[in-house]
A and B are shown apart, each in its own frame.
Chain A
């Protein structure tokens, strides 16, 4: 697998990964605002957001119809739709594409759900690797607390209830997130994650993220050109 830059795309893809409650969405939002306000060509894409596939996914989730296999496949479908129709054309057009979660989310979650790693990775092998992946590494207890403080109404699949880890939703969520964290950590070196300490203050993290991004990518190249 190669990155977009290795494949000769003019654009660059930057992904953030981490547990729910790690603060990654806040960080990528701030990154997006900064790049936009600097006048760069930026596009933001979120996991599980393709309009057409979403209707099937939410139906499946609501009715608890999904098994590990169909859960994996329907998310892959969603990803493929965004990949083929948005990410690739924009990267061809020289955009900085920011992704809140990328294929590593599937690698971690689906494997925790019992899908064979080789199968999951095989399905996603049409996708190029990000040029930079920030992994927001937080203490498990801190992320759990953030989620549990914020919106105590957990959803069935989000809590990993389909895995029958515990009949208690909060306990299930803890165990599930713990296993996902293990998967992320195991992938960190293989996929060259840039690890950010998510226990730091928001501003401290943002400063580090901006700095690292600037070191790696010549941002000035991505300015909007006058039309």
Chain B
């Protein structure tokens, strides 16, 4: 006790400059972009609603800024181009499958070009609250062709790391209900007609989604993080993995 009290509080000022690593596209990419100039890093946090994604991103931003890194956040349905229309369409549930899928792809591509690429060029750390994997998984659960989706998302940049917060449907259901006292129509996959009961449908749908994520994991190599553990536990894990990537050890 005495020793700790007499020790002056140490202010950390050492900043780690992230190592440079070459960027890649999943497919042909976006015409006219010089990948060499993308000096920033792109980290993706994936997981269902209730997996703790948003909480974790808030914590990561705080930690990164403290560490002297400039950050930018992106997520689904946040483009200036189509987010309003997409929201409207979902409320009315009036768009067909391919249309909705292309609408989301437009929203995604708009953010790639107008947020992600400029930020990476300026050396920012970009944190993505979901990425193409959720979009692909949702469509695959609905029977869309994987090859078609891969071609479509050939415009996506390969992230420096993708963290999938794997959370059991039972935990998700509890977290969602305690937060909103209901379950979201789309997150319950009600459009699929799995069950007329929202609760049952949620569990079934999240199980199907998690199966698709397992499949995608094999192709895209996500780092699986146990989302059932405490906020602190997940945060520690994400931090140490991101640190490794920034130091170029992975």
Any A CB within 8 A of the CB of B105: yes
How far, in angstroms, from A84 to B96 measured CA to CA in the complex?
Answer: 6
Structural contact, A70 and B109, CB atoms closer than 8 A: yes
How far, in angstroms, from A41 to B109 measured CA to CA in the complex?
Answer: 39
Any B CB within 8 A of the CB of A227: no
Interface of A is mostly: helix
**In the assembled complex, which residues on chain A have CB atoms less than 8 Å from the CB atom of B80?**
65
Structural contact, B148 and A115, CB atoms closer than 8 A: no
For the complex with contacts A52-B88, A69-B155, 12 further pairs of A-B residues with Cβ separation under 8 Å are A52-B94, A53-B103, A56-B85, A65-B110, A68-B31, A70-B106, A70-B113, A74-B82, A80-B102, A84-B98, A123-B102, A123-B148
Chain B positions 97 through 138: 1 when the CB is less than 8 Å from some CB of chain A, otherwise 0? 111011101100110111000000000000000000000000
Task: List B residues 82-96 near A (Cβ within 8 Å).
Answer: 82, 84-85, 88-89, 94-96
Structural contact, A123 and B152, CB atoms closer than 8 A: yes
Structural contact, A80 and B109, CB atoms closer than 8 A: no
* Closest residue on chain A to residue B102 by CB atoms: A77
Any B CB within 8 A of the CB of A92: no
Structural contact, A53 and B85, CB atoms closer than 8 A: yes
Any B CB within 8 A of the CB of A26: no
Within the complex, the shortest CB–CB distance from B221 to chain A, in Å, comes to: 23
Within the complex, the shortest CB–CB distance from A86 to chain B, in Å, comes to: 10
Structural contact, B28 and A81, CB atoms closer than 8 A: no
**In the assembled complex, which residues on chain A have CB atoms less than 8 Å from the CB atom of B82?**
56, 74
Any A CB within 8 A of the CB of B154: yes
Number of interface residues of B (CB under 8 A): 33
Structural contact, B113 and A52, CB atoms closer than 8 A: no
Structural contact, A115 and B98, CB atoms closer than 8 A: no
Structural contact, B81 and A74, CB atoms closer than 8 A: yes
Task: List A residues 108-132 near B (Cβ within 8 Å).
Answer: 114-116, 118-119, 122-123, 125-126
Q: A52-B85, A65-B81, A122-B151 are in contact. Are A77 and B106 (CB under 8 A)?
A: yes
**In the assembled complex, which residues on chain B have CB atoms less than 8 Å from the CB atom of A60?**
81
Q: A52-B88, A56-B85, A69-B113 are in contact. Are A77 and B99 (CB under 8 A)?
A: yes
**In the assembled complex, which residues on chain B have CB atoms less than 8 Å from the CB atom of A52?**
85, 88-89, 94-95
Q: What is the interface of chain B, defined by CB distance below 8 A to chain A?
A: 27-28, 30-32, 80-82, 84-85, 88-89, 94-99, 101-103, 105-106, 109-110, 112-114, 148, 151-152, 154-155
Structural contact, A73 and B105, CB atoms closer than 8 A: yes
How far, in angstroms, from A76 to B99 measured CA to CA in the complex?
Answer: 8
14 contacts between A and B (CB under 8 A): A53-B85, A55-B85, A65-B81, A69-B30, A69-B112, A69-B113, A70-B106, A70-B113, A74-B106, A77-B106, A80-B96, A118-B151, A123-B151, A126-B148
Structural contact, B98 and A80, CB atoms closer than 8 A: yes
Structural contact, A116 and B94, CB atoms closer than 8 A: no
How far, in angstroms, from A60 to B110 measured CA to CA in the complex?
Answer: 10
Number of interface residues of A (CB under 8 A): 30
How far, in angstroms, from A52 to B92 measured CA to CA in the complex?
Answer: 11
Name A119's contact: one of B97, B103, B106, B151 (CB within 8 Å).
Answer: B151
**In the assembled complex, which residues on chain B have CB atoms less than 8 Å from the CB atom of A73?**
102, 105-106, 109
How far, in angstroms, from A60 to B82 measured CA to CA in the complex?
Answer: 9
Any B CB within 8 A of the CB of A59: yes
How far, in angstroms, from A99 to B109 measured CA to CA in the complex?
Answer: 28
**In the assembled complex, which residues on chain B have CB atoms less than 8 Å from the CB atom of A210?**
none
Within the complex, the shortest CB–CB distance from B250 to chain A, in Å, comes to: 30
Name B28's contact: one of A55, A68, A119 (CB within 8 Å).
Answer: A119
How far, in angstroms, from A126 to B152 measured CA to CA in the complex?
Answer: 12
Structural contact, B106 and A122, CB atoms closer than 8 A: no
Residue of A60, A66, A69, A85 contacting most chain B CB atoms (<10 Å): A69
Any B CB within 8 A of the CB of A67: yes
